[in-house]
């Protein structure tokens, strides 16, 4: 899991949860969690394993935490049972939190925001039947990421239901009264058509569109199908809301559901702060706006193990997600908790983040020795900004970011919701990634940007809906994109606007890459990016499977991270930093004590050098002599 610990605009976390001052681990255990696992068909258990799992909050865990310098333990408080059934877990934790505090370790309590194990819950709390989320067909809304053997054992409760809100807040208060230092919420789902939600939607649309609408029926592609297709949690079927061409009311419904969860979280946070003013407050929002903005601690479950496919040469990298979290966190370091491989360790460090946990003692020692000079106080140097609205699950977007990374394009993420003149001014080229819905104020800013000489590539239908997803007759960016009259729906268009240059692909490059149908456009798109980005930050001549990421440290250093995603070492890599006037290069690697640097050539128009071979990771630091 990856996380940032700060919001761009929100309140700061307490000091003990600031970057560099904590090490966290989550332990999903205890009797309530064990019951949850059994009811979710999650694992093959033996009686011994069951016993261990139920009794895992013990002295051994504390000793482990002390030994590994863990300062925050995330422990299960309430996965979806009634208060009565949670009692046994709470009794254990009340005692355990006291012990944990005596060791100087903080505790974050894990709660499921919407889940209920209804067989138990409805018997213990009969009124909970009224709290259920209701599907369009009148049935329950099951939690989707479990394997049910026979009857569905987990159904979701409604975030807009006042009864559930009050009951849930009692769980939160109990956790804080037990001494929890922080709260972490999972399962932030709202997919509800209950009367409260329907009425809320009518009111929401009255405010947003000036007219009340009925909540639309689910799409032809159901959430269940999506779930199966992506294999990851779907919060409010909003994963299609960026690129998809659904009627605007479906987008409005996703927005409404996300906003409902946001309101619930906000209310919970207010309640929590009355008990503990500096409570750490985070959740698993899958990066979705606006709920990802409530809290002082963020976590993403959407990273996947990075990989290289020797057949196609395709790389799976989390570069896009790390860069998103970096930006979303106000350019504070994102963290990867529980790093799985050396390449993964290298890529989060190369994107301005930090890996928590030891992937390899040598890598750990490397970070200790050189961390200050190569990872601290760095800034991205990319001059390509990818503008996107929210973030759909990484499975949808990762192929696009991997495609850019594979061609060593140095890009940053620009979050649509945070666009301002300053952000735009940082880039020579902006790529609008499926910005179907766009406010006219944003369109004006983008128009100004191009008129003054910024370059633009737009992919996918762009600006054809208003900020609130209501369709427009013509794209608000039509003049900039050079689209007049009947807009094309395919191909590639190139034009000038003011001093800037514009390329428009009416079909989504990200969708084509995801569906493996990119064909000729893959090469053409990269050519366009290369041509329009101005002087590239870096040029790399390396075997397939090697990625480069460039960061700067003030004006005195350029740090080139080279990562090999292949399982075996690769041969020589040629690097050129056009426009770089530095003449000194130092090569460092955790894989070799003295990695070989070759052919360093410093000229007025740039610096070039060769790296003789690469196991997994090397860093070249360029500086003045």
Residue 331 in 3-state DSSP?
A: coil
Nearer to Zn ion, 165 or 342 (CB): 165
Compute the distance between CA of residue 323 and CA of residue 338 in angstroms, rounded to an integer. 18
**Cβ 293 to Zn ion, closest distance in Å?**
22
Nearer to Zn ion, 196 or 602 (CB): 196
**230 touches 223 (CB < 8 A):** no
Nearer to Zn ion, 165 or 333 (CB): 165
Query: Which residues in the 187-226 window bind Zn ion by CB under 5 A?
Result: 192, 194, 196-197
Calculated CA dihedral for residues 326, 15, 181, 348, nearest 10 degrees: 30
Return the number of other C-beta atoms located less than 10 Å from residue 299's C-beta: 27
**Cβ 262 to Zn ion, closest distance in Å?**
15
Nearer to Zn ion, 130 or 425 (CB): 130
Beta bridge partner(s), residue 316? 307
Beta bridge partner(s), residue 11? none
Nearer to Zn ion, 160 or 205 (CB): 160
Compute the distance between CA of residue 521 and CA of residue 306 in angstroms, rounded to an integer. 24
**325 touches 413 (CB < 8 A):** no
**Cβ 236 to Zn ion, closest distance in Å?**
12
**Cβ 194 to Zn ion, closest distance in Å?**
3
Query: Which residues in the 135-194 window bind Zn ion by CB under 5 A?
Result: 158, 160, 192, 194
**Cβ 196 to Zn ion, closest distance in Å?**
5
Nearer to Zn ion, 160 or 318 (CB): 160
Residue 574 in 3-state DSSP?
A: strand
Residue 564's Cβ-count burial label (10 Å; 0-12, 13-18, 19+) is buried
**Cβ 192 to Zn ion, closest distance in Å?**
3
Nearer to Zn ion, 156 or 413 (CB): 156
Nearer to Zn ion, 190 or 317 (CB): 190
Query: Which of these, 608, 546, 513, 607, lies nearest to 407 by C-alpha position?
Result: 546
Nearer to Zn ion, 266 or 592 (CB): 266
**Cβ 152 to Zn ion, closest distance in Å?**
18
Nearer to Zn ion, 61 or 192 (CB): 192
Compute the distance between CA of residue 503 and CA of residue 457 in angstroms, rounded to an integer. 5
Nearer to Zn ion, 191 or 576 (CB): 191
**625 touches 598 (CB < 8 A):** no
DSSP string, 487-553: --SSS-EEEEETTEEEEEESS-HHHHHHTT--THHHHHHHHHHHHHT-S-S-EEE--TTEEEEEEEE
Query: Which residues in the 453-492 window bind Zn ion by CB under 5 A?
Result: none
**Cβ 134 to Zn ion, closest distance in Å?**
6
Contact status: 291 vs Zn ion (CB under 5 A): no
Query: Which residues in the 62-121 window bind Zn ion by CB under 5 A?
Result: none
* Number of shown-chain residues binding Zn ion (CB under 5 A): 6
- Measured in whole angstroms, the distance separating CA 429 from the mean position of its chain's CA atoms is 23
Calculated CA dihedral for residues 432, 436, 440, 446, nearest 10 degrees: 10
Tokens of 144: 């989707």
**Cβ 253 to Zn ion, closest distance in Å?**
12
Going from the C-alpha of 409 to that of each of 298, 367, 388, 526, 600, the distances in angstroms are 27, 26, 17, 8, 23
Nearer to Zn ion, 140 or 418 (CB): 140
Beta bridge partner(s), residue 621? 559, 586
Could you give the angle at which helices 162-177 and 248-275 cross, rounded to 10 degrees? Answer: 40
**501 touches 533 (CB < 8 A):** no
543: phi then psi, degrees, rounded to nearest 5: -60, 155
**Cβ 490 to Zn ion, closest distance in Å?**
41
**Cβ 154 to Zn ion, closest distance in Å?**
17
Q: What share of the chain is helix, strand, coil (3-state, %, to 5)?
A: 35, 25, 40
**Cβ 260 to Zn ion, closest distance in Å?**
8
Q: Which residues bind Zn ion (CB under 5 A)?
A: 158, 160, 192, 194, 196-197
């Amino acid at each position: 899991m990856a996380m940032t610990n700060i919001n761009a605009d929100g309140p700061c976390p307490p000091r003990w949860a600031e970057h560099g001052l904590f090490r966290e681990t989550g332990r999903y255990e205890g009797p309530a969690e064990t019951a949850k696992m059994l009811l979710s068909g999650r694992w093959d258990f033996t009686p011994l394993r069951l016993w261990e799992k139920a009794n895992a909050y013990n002295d051994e865990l504390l000793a482990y935490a002390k030994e590994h310098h863990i300062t925050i333990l995330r422990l299960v408080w309430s996965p979806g049972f009634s208060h009565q059934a949670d009692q046994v877990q709470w009794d254990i934790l009340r005692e355990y939190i006291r012990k944990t505090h005596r060791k100087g370790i903080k505790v974050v309590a894990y709660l499921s925001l919407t889940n209920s194990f209804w067989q138990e819950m409805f018997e213990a709390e009969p009124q909970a039947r009224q709290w259920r989320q209701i599907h369009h067909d009148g049935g329950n809304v099951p939690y989707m990421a479990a394997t049910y053997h026979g009857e569905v054992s987990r159904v979701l409760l409604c975030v807009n239901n006042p009864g559930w809100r009050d009951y849930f807040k009692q769980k939160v208060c109990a956790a804080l009264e037990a001494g929890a230092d922080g709260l972490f919420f999972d399962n932030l789902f709202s997919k509800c058509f209950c009367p409260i939600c329907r009425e809320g939607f009518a009111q929401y649309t009255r405010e947003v569109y000036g007219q009340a609408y009925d909540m639309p029926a689910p799409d032809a592609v159901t959430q269940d199908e999506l779930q199966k297709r992506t294999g990851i949690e779907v919060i409010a079927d909003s994963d299609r809301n960026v690129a998809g061409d659904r009627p605007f009311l479906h987008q409005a419904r996703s927005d409404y559901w996300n906003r409902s969860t946001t309101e619930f979280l906000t209310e919970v946070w207010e309640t929590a702060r009355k008990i503990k003013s500096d409570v750490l407050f985070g959740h698993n929002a899958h990066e979705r706006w606006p709920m990802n903005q409530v809290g002082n601690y963020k976590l993403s479950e959407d990273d996947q193990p990075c990989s290289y496919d020797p057949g196609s040469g395709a790389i799976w990298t989390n570069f896009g997600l790390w860069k998103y979290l970096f930006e979303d966190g106000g350019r504070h370091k994102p963290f990867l908790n529980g790093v799985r491989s050396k390449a993964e360790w290298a890529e989060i460090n190369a994107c301005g983040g930090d890996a928590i946990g030891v992937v390899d003692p040598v890598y750990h020692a490397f970070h200790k020795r050189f961390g200050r000079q190569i990872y601290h106080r760095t800034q991205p140097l990319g001059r390509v900004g990818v503008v996107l609205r929210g973030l759909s699950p990484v499975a949808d977007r990762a192929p696009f970011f991997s495609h850019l990374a594979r061609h060593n394009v140095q890009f940053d993420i620009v979050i649509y919701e945070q666009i301002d003149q300053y952000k735009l001014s940082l880039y020579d080229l902006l790529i609008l990634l499926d910005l179907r819905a766009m406010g006219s104020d944003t369109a004006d800013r983008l128009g100004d940007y191009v008129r003054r000489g910024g370059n633009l590539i737009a992919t996918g239908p762009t600006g054809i809906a208003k900020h609130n997803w209501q369709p427009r007759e013509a794209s608000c960016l039509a003049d900039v994109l050079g689209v007049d009259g009947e807009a094309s729906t395919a191909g590639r268009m190139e034009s000038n606007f003011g001093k800037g240059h514009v390329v428009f692909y009416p079909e989504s490059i990200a969708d084509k890459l995801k569906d493996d149908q990119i064909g000729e456009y893959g090469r053409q798109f990269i050519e366009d990016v290369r041509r329009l980005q101005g002087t590239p930050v870096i040029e790399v001549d390396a075997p397939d499977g090697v990625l480069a990421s460039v960061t700067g440290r003030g004006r005195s250093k350029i740090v080139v991270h080279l990562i090999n995603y292949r399982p075996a070492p690769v041969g020589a890599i040629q690097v050129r930093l056009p426009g770089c006037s530095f003449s000194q290069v130092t090569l460092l690697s955790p894989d070799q004590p003295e990695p070989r640097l070759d052919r360093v050539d410093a000229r007025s128009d740039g610096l070039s050098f060769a790296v003789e071979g690469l196991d997994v990771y090397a860093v070249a630091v360029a500086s003045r002599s």
